[in-house]
Amino acid sequence: MQLFSTADRALWRLALPMIFSNITVPLLGLVDTAVIGHLDSPVYLGGVAIGATATSFLFMLLLFLRMSTTGLTAQAFGANNPSALARALVQPLLLALGAGVAIVLLRDPLISLALQIVGGNQDVLVQAQRFLEIRWLSAPASLANLVLLGWLLGVQYARAPVILLVVGNLLNIVLDVWLVMGLHLDVQGAALATVTAEYATFFIGLLMVKKVMGLRGISFEMLKQSWRGNVRRLLALNRDIMLRSLLLQVCFASVTIFGARLGSEIVAVNAVLMTLLTFTAYALDGFAYAVEAHSGQAYGAKNRGQLLEVWGAACRQAGLVALMFAVVYALFGEQIVSLLTSIPQLQLQADRYLHWQIVLPVVGVWCYLLDGMFIGATRGAEMRNSMAVAAVGFGLTLFTVPYLGNHGLWLSVAVFLALRGLALGWIWRRHWQQNSWFNNVQS
């Protein structure tokens, strides 16, 4: 088997810029952790960890806005249908802006509910509330940015998503350092930096979309008409992916919730370790995003051979990158942790759980890639069902926590990632054997 074929090069052309741009997302998390982790108390880091988890739970529950947009856009691109491209942009963008405004209006009761569910140390919860009261003001821009990113990715215009992510996240990082360390605004400064960057990214994204529309032959008249038509398919797809995202966020939020009940030090340690996992996931998601775009294009064109080439290239290249992450964490994990926090007791605690960061990239890479295949084919119901299987496995493994402590939490994460990959792989193989993968292609 050729290690670097034409399909591999095509995958890298889209994956590489997405990897670099994606890395800026967890890089922001690294900076947040490093900046807050060097304050004089672990309650700040714990507060930001809980606030970030609550934000991720709420916003990523609406991740279907990006995922469905990418799949539908890639299929329209493969079918060379400008009207469908316009519809794939406008309909989810209206949903995103509406949901974002609702979150802003309801943020006070939502924050109270989130903190009540988490529980734990009161000082940590106070810091989390201060963070969330500002952070959730970015909801309209944050959710709209998911749609813009998904659409730009679906048309395989790699430069635009890179600009969108890199510029926004670098601005966030600069503001983060200035507001937290320069102006000593602590957790409020970290939240304000993110809000400012999200709105700046939104306006940059609109400019990028305008440019691409001209390149793809999408007229203003098409945009005016595109809010209508095929809405039922979009809502059904979004419903399934939303349920899938809900299960995903429940599982990862459980790590923070159970960690908070194991003590303030454990929740802070897990914030550091989760930053490493997030960094790895976002890098590997560069391949998943490329798979979404290329497989969606092949799906729209009903090109079986192209789809197989995409999958083979993704397995080869993403598998190698996952191994690279495992080796880096094995050799330099302790040094990386020391960069993220200067608190000695947190460094010692984190070193006890580093071996999980070596295992997780190799276990998780397959579910990321298969997600890309299913998103490209807009098979939301099967993604939902496979996530339900993984969530059950995660929940059952949590029963080890009273005996294994924090190791039980990380074992649950490993089981969760493994079951996602196995379930999606089984469904994919069954479709391929029955020659039914392209049955749902719509013109």
Judge whether 179 lies within some domain.
yes
The reported pLDDT for the residue numbered 137 is 92
Judge whether 441 lies within some domain.
no
**With 0-12 CB in 10 A as exposed, 13-18 as middle and 19+ as buried, what is 11?**
buried
The whole-number average pLDDT for the span 77-100 is 85
The reported pLDDT for the residue numbered 258 is 85
Q: pTM (2 decimals)?
A: 0.75
The reported pLDDT for the residue numbered 443 is 47
Mean pLDDT, the chain, integer: 83
- DSSP code of residue 216: T
Residues composing the chain: 443
Half-sphere exposure (Cβ direction) of 159: Cα atoms closer than 13 Å:
5
- When mean pLDDT is compared over 15-19, 126-130, 223-227, 365-369, the highest value belongs to 365-369
Per-residue model confidence as pLDDT tens digits over 346-387 = 777 778 888 899 999 999 999 999 998 998 888 888 999 999
What are the helix and strand counts (H, E) for the chain? 18, 0
The reported pLDDT for the residue numbered 1 is 47
The whole-number average pLDDT for the span 271-288 is 84
Q: How many CB atoms lie within 10 A of CB 95?
A: 22
Above pLDDT 90, what percent of the chain?
21
Q: Which two tokens stand for residue 329?
A: 């964490």
Contact between 50 and 253 under an 8 Å Cβ cutoff? The reply is no
pLDDT tier, 73 (very low <50, low <70, confident <90, very high otherwise): confident
Distance CA 146, CA 289 (A): 13
More confident residue, 199 or 279: 199
Judge whether 384 lies within some domain.
yes
Judge whether 410 lies within some domain.
yes
The reported pLDDT for the residue numbered 115 is 84
Contact between 53 and 248 under an 8 Å Cβ cutoff? The reply is no
User: In the predicted model, is pLDDT for residue 31 greater than 80?
Assistant: no
The reported pLDDT for the residue numbered 246 is 84
Per-residue model confidence as pLDDT tens digits over 291-343 = 888 888 888 777 788 888 888 888 888 999 999 999 999 898 888 888 777 77
Per-residue model confidence as pLDDT tens digits over 397-439 = 999 988 898 899 999 999 999 999 999 999 999 988 888 887 7
Q: Give the structural domain span for 208.
A: 6-434
pLDDT tier, 98 (very low <50, low <70, confident <90, very high otherwise): very high
Distance CA 364, CA 395 (A): 18
3-state secondary structure of 226: coil
**Which of 168, 170, 171, 149 minimizes the C-alpha distance to 160?**
149
User: In the predicted model, is pLDDT for residue 233 greater than 90?
Assistant: no
Judge whether 385 lies within some domain.
yes
The whole-number average pLDDT for the span 90-109 is 91
CA angle at 276 for the pair 178 and 107, rounded to the nearest 5°: 60
CA angle at 36 for the pair 34 and 42, rounded to the nearest 5°: 110
Contact between 253 and 60 under an 8 Å Cβ cutoff? The reply is no
Distance CA 82, CA 69 (A): 14
User: In the predicted model, is pLDDT for residue 274 greater than 90?
Assistant: no
The reported pLDDT for the residue numbered 102 is 94
Split into its structural domains, the chain has a count of 1
Q: Which two tokens stand for residue 356?
A: 């999980």
Distance CA 43, CA 39 (A): 9
What angle, 0 to 180 degrees and rounded to 10, lies between the N-to-C axes of helices 355-376 and 406-434?
Answer: 30
Distance CA 340, CA 330 (A): 17
Task: Return all residues near 120 (Cβ < 8 A) that are at least 6 apart.
Answer: 50, 260, 261, 264, 267
Distance CA 69, CA 148 (A): 9
Judge whether 280 lies within some domain.
yes
Half-sphere exposure (Cβ direction) of 20: Cα atoms closer than 13 Å:
14
Q: How many CB atoms lie within 10 A of CB 323?
A: 13
- When mean pLDDT is compared over 70-79, 196-205, 215-224, the highest value belongs to 196-205
The reported pLDDT for the residue numbered 81 is 78
Task: Return all residues near 321 (Cβ < 8 A) that are at least 6 apart.
Answer: 283, 284, 287, 365
